[in-house]
Structure 1
Amino acid sequence: MRGPSAAQWFRMTFALNGWSGDWLGSVHEWHHYHMNTHEVLGVVSGAARLQFDGPQGRVETVHAGDAIVIPAACAHCLIEATDDFEVIGAYPGGLRPDIHNGSGAIAPFPLPVRRDPILGAGRGFVLHIGQAGVLQG
């Protein structure tokens, strides 16, 4: 699933699990983080290399169908992407993220939210505590 149908599926799934305030676009090409909220990205189309945990952090390749959970204070940025790369992002409870430049906190905050944005209540977050996690689609 790619393109508009993937965007709609991610939007609906995120909303059913309490993640809203969604947007459609790309990821900033500079290291940034959000202190006030966690973030989920659903890859709608294309592929990209994203870096997590600042300039010395790990780089992950993501593809259409993948979902990425990014804890508050975990820096992230776009390294490179295909021309058709697009993500939909959302936040628990529809929070509006603050945006800070830089490498983020030394240890990102754990994910104390009730519902994984894809798998729902009681599932998923055990894989993601304390670091950005990619759920391959």
Structure 2
Amino acid sequence: MQEHSKHGFDAAQTEYEAFMLEPHDWVPNNSKLPVVIYRQAVDPAIGDLAKAFELLFARNEWPPQWRDGIFDYHHFHSTAHEVLGVSDGSADVIVGGPGGKVVSVSAGDVLLLPAGTGHCLQSFEGRFRVVGAYPAGQQWDIRREALTPQELAAMHALPFPKMDPVDGKHGPLCEHWLNAA
């Protein structure tokens, strides 16, 4: 499933794509919730993109927790959904685990990963940096091995965020994720 749409962030229009991933090897992915990539969610011309992403995510109840790159090894988070706002540079990121889908992101883009979604930095240009945020009340972990059946059930039972990290109550998360509930 891949969809394209436009949703506003302030006066700008944000294009996004959403796609599903099936479990792959030791990476559970999330067969119920799509990955969402927002293109140019924040205009890179505004200057301090990291600060802009922190303010945007916090306003939408996804408290920012760090600024850094993406690990260059395959991993996923089983205890939290994750949003990554690209504040500097550009990169190719493997989504879905080893052999997964390669997506290109650049400054101003946002990558929304449901819990269980494998991701790994494949390559980058410039000083590639992202702002990482998670729904209020969720604490992230780093997993590099298969989940037990109990851990998988707990991952699928995570509460849905109340708001889309980019577009608040009107974004793709609300359209795709909440409809999957």
TM bin (shorter chain) = 0.7 to 0.9
Amino acid at match of 1:40: V
Number of equivalent positions? 127
CA distance in 2, matches of 1:17, 1:43: 17
Structure 2 gap ranges (5+): 1-43
- 1:76 counterpart = 2:134: no
The worse-fitting range, judged by mean Cα deviation, of 32-41 and 89-98 is 89-98
Amino acid at match of 1:31: H
CA distance in 2, matches of 1:23, 1:128: 26
TM-score scaled by length of structure 1: 0.82
User: C-alpha displacement at 1:122, in angstroms?
Assistant: 3.6
Secondary structure of the structure 2 residue equivalent to 1:115: coil
Structure 1 gap ranges (5+): 130-137
CA distance in 1, matches of 2:76, 2:137: 17
CA distance in 2, matches of 1:111, 1:81: 33
The superposition leaves residues 73-126 of structure 1 with CA deviations (integer Å, 9 ceiling, x where unpaired) of: 011010001131110010000532111014787xx9598221110010142216
Query: For the pair shown, which has the larger CA radius of gyration, 1 or 2?
Result: 2
Give every structure 1 segment of 4 or more consecutive aligned residues whose post-TM-superposition deviation is greater than 3 Å: 102-105, 108-111, 126-129
TM-score scaled by length of structure 2: 0.63
CA distance in 1, matches of 2:176, 2:128: 23
Contact kept in structure 1, 2:64 and 2:131, CA below 8 Å? no
Cα gap change, 1:47 to 1:120, in 2 (>3 Å):
same
Match of 2:110 among 46, 67, 75: 67
RMSD (Å), alpha carbons = 2.5
Identity %: 35
Contact kept in structure 2, 1:32 and 1:75, CA below 8 Å? yes
Contact kept in structure 2, 1:74 and 1:103, CA below 8 Å? no
Which has the larger share of helix?
2
